[in-house]
Amino acid sequence: MPDEDRWLEQARRGDIESFSRLVELRQGYVRAYLGRLVGHPDVADDLAQEAFLRAYRNLHVYDGRAPFQAWLAGIARNLALEHLRKEARRLARHVALLPAALADWRARQADSENALPDRHERHVRAVKACLDRLPPKSADIIDRFYFKSESAETLASRLETTANAVHQLLFRIRHALRRCVEERLAAEG
């Protein structure tokens, strides 16, 4: 590609405008390549900018034996590998902290449960009372879906309706239960 070769020569002599043309010519390829390597478009864009900066700073090293695009791809690949290694180290640090964080969470949960057993019991009593007040058809649907693990499709064929209608019905029943529980808890104070 004669334009690319000319722009490359001019860029090597310090012509920033020529290098900008090279960037315009190859940025789509470099971003797509990095996107496949790192999997995140925003990260790929950041790495592409860095790849072009490194390429510009190292034009004096480029010997022309390989196509310019291949040389850019090598720079981009190295940046992607660097990024992925940093991410792996960062994730490893977080994973190493996970057991301590989990133990801390469990301790807080235990403290919370010990401090508020009455609240939990009141909530359970309210849910049971509200379930008992459901109309028989609604109670049957809740029982079959949540406690007997029947699918919405199975319930739909039993009720001669669609699975979507069953999901809507479940939504309305849950909403009514939530209102009932909130009212009972508010009444208890």
CB pairs under 8 A, 24+ apart, for 135-144? 138/169, 138/173, 138/176, 141/166, 141/169, 141/170, 141/173, 142/170, 142/173
> Whole-model pTM above 0.95?
no
Q: What is the pLDDT along the chain (189 residues), one digit of tens a residue?
A: 578 989 999 999 999 999 999 999 999 999 999 999 998 899 999 999 999 999 999 999 998 899 999 999 999 999 999 999 998 888 777 666 666 666 777 777 666 655 555 677 788 888 888 888 989 899 888 888 888 888 999 999 999 999 999 999 989 998 998 899 899 889 987
Domain annotation for the chain: domains and CATH numbers? 2-90 (1.10.1740.10), 117-188 (1.10.10.10)
